[in-house]
Amino acid sequence: MASEKDRKPPEIPDLSCAEYVEKSVDEISDAIAKGLSEPKVQLIKTILGSIGKENSLFFYKQTQEVEQQGGMKTSSGDRWRTSGGVFVQLLRQEAKKENGRVSQKQIDDIFDEQKSNDNEHKKLDENDEEEKALEKDIEEGKKKILNRSTKKP
């Protein structure tokens, strides 16, 4: 495993606030998620919808600066946060400030929605698994019937 000195911070591309503030929520959330290598695009979209374009771009820039300075470790200190994790942690830290750009209620709402989305995806995944198992059972049943009908008495 690489030591702290060997860690190369991820390169996060610049997103110009002036350029992106005119774009749609989908375009901005896609650009932020891509820039942070964050697979949870829906989470970024939810954050953007809650705190707005300018604040989202502000925290993107803050994330970029943290990563350029070496990154941020998790609270346990045993691993480095992903760029998306840094972005979210900066939001959480800001919510603790008296007059921050983000309120604790906004953070709670964002993660309540994310938890709801995660639960919905989990249910869909479970339904897909059940459907696949049922299809497999049907195919096996068809094979048994075909085998019986092709056997000579």
* Cα separation, 133 vs 140, whole angstroms: 11
57 versus 150: the higher-pLDDT residue is: 57
34, amino acid identity: K
Q: Is 103 helix (H, G, I), strand (E, B) or coil?
A: coil
pLDDT for res 22: 83
Mean pLDDT score across all residues of the chain: 84
pLDDT for res 152: 60
Nearest in space to 33 (alpha carbons), one of 19, 23, 47, 54: 47
pLDDT for res 16: 72
What predicted TM-score, i.e. pTM, was given to this entire model? Answer: 0.70
- Per-residue model confidence as pLDDT tens digits over 106-139: 999 998 877 766 665 565 556 667 677 777 777 7
Q: Is the pLDDT of residue 57 over 70?
A: yes
Residues 6+ apart with CB under 8 A from 50: 106, 109, 110
55 neighbors 102 (Cβ within 8 angstroms): yes
Q: Which residue has the tokens 């190369």?
A: 8
Within 10 angstroms of residue 147's Cβ, the number of other Cβ atoms is 9
Token pair listed for 151: 């056997």
